[in-house]
Amino acid sequence: MNASFFASLGRALADGAPVCVATVSETRGAVPRHRGAMLWCQIGATSAQMHGSVGGGLLEATVLQRAHALLAAELDADAVAIDLSGKPESAGICGGQVHVRLKRWQGPSAGARAAALAAALAAGQTVQLLPNEFGADDLAAPLTIAPEPMLLICGAGHCGQALALQAQLIGFRLAVQDSRADMLAHAAYASATILHGDASVLRNISAQRPLYAVLLNRDWASDLACLNVLAEMPPDYVGMMGSRRRVAAVRSALPDLDRCLPLLDAPLGLELGAETPEEIAISILARLIQHRRLNRPHSPP
């Protein structure tokens, strides 16, 4: 769950109307979402709104129905177990079961709490929701929410711009480095941490974790400079765009690269036959999702 979820929750609470927060607390077997997946919904005077997802389909429709009922009855909390076994009365055929907790959030203190959670996650901090904050008073363990990875884009050109726009849609925090001020001023980087200068400025975010770095530089000399600095502060993931010939040249120029950055992923991106900056961005994001969700290493060159 990312900072934007809690930021939107805070804005909804500012309207004064109560909000129901639904949280997946436990799962068994094959399910679309796992522990920690959340959505909130609010019923206004003329319309209803929601943000987030606990799995979509009939599962989510059931959760929303119960959430609306909780708000209408002015209840504080509720719980629902959803069967996905494929039986006639089940909500799906995935094969598992999902337990969802419902909690009513309302008032200035709830809004302040949502804003504080959003700020902490945006700053790269891990936060915890106490059981009574997500409708699970019977559970002893809090819900730990880790920050989304920071995506460091080295090279603010067309591919970097396309990647930044799409990465924000799936929650990545952003940082972008380039020596060209005009490129860094692009609207795609409006919410990013700007690192203006040569590769040495990368040290300014060395403490950020999880940190995914992608090298999209216009020349291989910039790749070399960035890799030398990143070797001092090895990110959780490092990928480099370029042809196999360019990648081989970089590896040849940095004989200690395999020791300092043994998991360098290059050429970067899933092989989709991508050509345009937007297509290249999709191939890169697909690779980042694969690494993040499956922790799947790349195939050696």
What does the pLDDT read at residue 68?
95
Residue 285 in contact with residue 170, Cβ under 8 Å? Answer: yes
Residue 275 in contact with residue 192, Cβ under 8 Å? Answer: no
What does the pLDDT read at residue 194?
98
pLDDT per 10-residue tile (average), the chain, 301 residues? 91 93 93 93 80 93 95 95 78 82 96 97 93 87 93 97 96 96 97 97 94 94 92 92 86 79 86 93 96 66 34
User: Which tokens is 129 given?
Assistant: 């929701």
Q: Please state the separation of Cα 108 from the chain's center in Å.
A: 27
Question: Which runs of E-coded beta strand occur in the chain?
Answer: 19-28, 38-43, 48-52, 77-83, 97-105, 127-129, 143-145, 150-154, 173-178, 193-196, 211-215, 237-240
What does the pLDDT read at residue 296?
54
Domains and CATH numbers, the chain: 3-145 (no CATH), 150-294 (3.40.50.720)
Q: Please state the separation of Cα 70 from the chain's center in Å.
A: 29
What does the pLDDT read at residue 299?
41
Please give the helix or strand (H or E) that residue 183 lies within, else none.
Answer: helix 181-184
DSSP per residue over 49-90, as a string?
EEEE-SS-HHHHHHHHHHHHHHHHTT-SEEEEEEE-S--TTS
What does the pLDDT read at residue 229?
94
What does the pLDDT read at residue 174?
97
Q: How far apart are CA 219 and CA 14, in angstroms?
A: 48
What does the pLDDT read at residue 140?
74
Query: Which residue from 41, 235, 82 is spatially nearest to 151, judged by alpha carbons?
Result: 235
What does the pLDDT read at residue 300?
37
